[in-house]
Amino acid sequence: KHMNRPLDGIRVVALEQYMSGPYCSMLLADAGAEVIKIERPGLGDPRRSIPPFAEKGEKKKAGGFMAYNRNKKSLALNIGPDSGKKVFLDLVEKADVVVENLRPGSVDKMGMGYDTLKKINPELIYAAISGFGRLDGFKGPDSHRPAFDIVAEAMSGIMNLVGYDDKPPSWTIYGMADIYSGLCTAYGIMQALFMRERTGKGQFVDSSMLDNMISLNERMVMLYSITGLEPKRGRLKHLFPRGAFPCKDGYIALNIPDDLVWARLCRVLEREDLIQDEKSKTGTARASNSDKLTPIIENWMKERTREKAENILNKNGVPVGPVYTARDVFESKQVQARKSLVDIDDPKVGLHQFARTPIHLSAAPEIPARPAPELGQDTEEILSTLLGYAEEKINELQKNEIIQIYQG
């Protein structure tokens, strides 16, 4: 019996650019949805021109674009003029979901916001990703502002906790707020699809990057709410050791959450005297005496390779892991066994690997691996097959530069 991906038969129209929208709709595409990505003729998604590029002979393709746009179709359409708007509205009539992350207010100004679209298609789920949220009743002084990922990291309190106490706050990884917002939005869309099964109605899914990052920073919220204390970056008051410790050939990540695991570590270090010592028997004591304890741990680590240290500690009930570089991740047997990296074979630039959607489902087949589309690759097929436009009509739209058809 042919098994389906979970979202087979769901059609998504993606009015998206850069990272958060594209990552969200890629998750839906990986789950089996038909995703129609709307791009500006001529330019396309800005990420099409941002390096690094995969190159093969004369041909090149932007890595960032390839990474977030697999399993999608590309419709090159100018939605500004009325005739382009009409194509968009025809498409929405046949869609289940719209994912949109354009600048706040821009679609409403064009008369293509949720209020307009739900009249055409009451079952439509409209998911909007913005910096600060767009749902009426939840608007704040910042709602109109656009935002890049680093702004959401900063305003959620996350940035203040990253780095060391004697250095300025630091960002985490490039694009984390975008990627996490894409994930949260996909989760919101799944909830809305599930509700639609019961009510038959669509709804507006309002995803704010700031809200998403605050939810990720829930420990800070809990600590401040319960104790009134603001956690500080670089040092934990109740916990030690926690961090990366240097071995012969790289680093090991070590976390000692309680006194039981501390005792196991002391036995491995052959320093059982530290188990009951007043200066190290509790997390708080260890944290205030970290200057004395750090060299003891480091000296043991420095005599061993990452692999050796990892094996000894894990065998003795101290869960640790090596701090991997990019190459380590690609070479890891665990990563390979989990198929965490997917092979995407692009007809233009060849085979490359990208991060797989997380989560395996036991009753669904493996995710599809179609390469990111060329600009306007599916324009003709969508207009003629899905929307039933006659050839003359398509030719006229092309002549007026409302659409672009990929010539190959």
Q: Which amino acids are annotated catalytic? A: 178
125-130 vs 97-100, strand pairing mode: parallel
**Identity of the residue numbered 101:** N
Cβ neighbours of residue 17 closer than 8 Å, sequence gap 6 or more: 45, 46, 47, 101, 102
CB 45 within 8 A of CB 62: no
Q: Which two tokens stand for residue 33?
A: 């949805």
Cβ neighbours of residue 254 closer than 8 Å, sequence gap 6 or more: 241, 242, 243, 244, 245, 265, 297, 313, 318, 320
**Identity of the residue numbered 99:** V
- Looking from the CA of 4 toward its CB, the CA atoms found within 13 Å total 9
Cα separation, 130 vs 136, whole angstroms: 14
- Residue matched to tokens 């990452």: 306
Cα separation, 176 vs 171, whole angstroms: 9
β strands within 121-249, DSSP E: 125-130, 204-208, 242-247
CB 24 within 8 A of CB 99: yes
- Number of Cβ atoms within 10 Å of the Cβ of 192: 20
Cβ neighbours of residue 337 closer than 8 Å, sequence gap 6 or more: none
Cα–chain-centroid distance for residue 170?
19
Nearest in space to 370 (alpha carbons), one of 32, 131, 124: 32
CB 54 within 8 A of CB 63: yes
The DSSP bridge partners found for residue 12 are 35, 97
- Distances 395 to 82, 240, 391 between C-alpha atoms, Å: 17, 69, 6
Cβ neighbours of residue 154 closer than 8 Å, sequence gap 6 or more: 160, 169
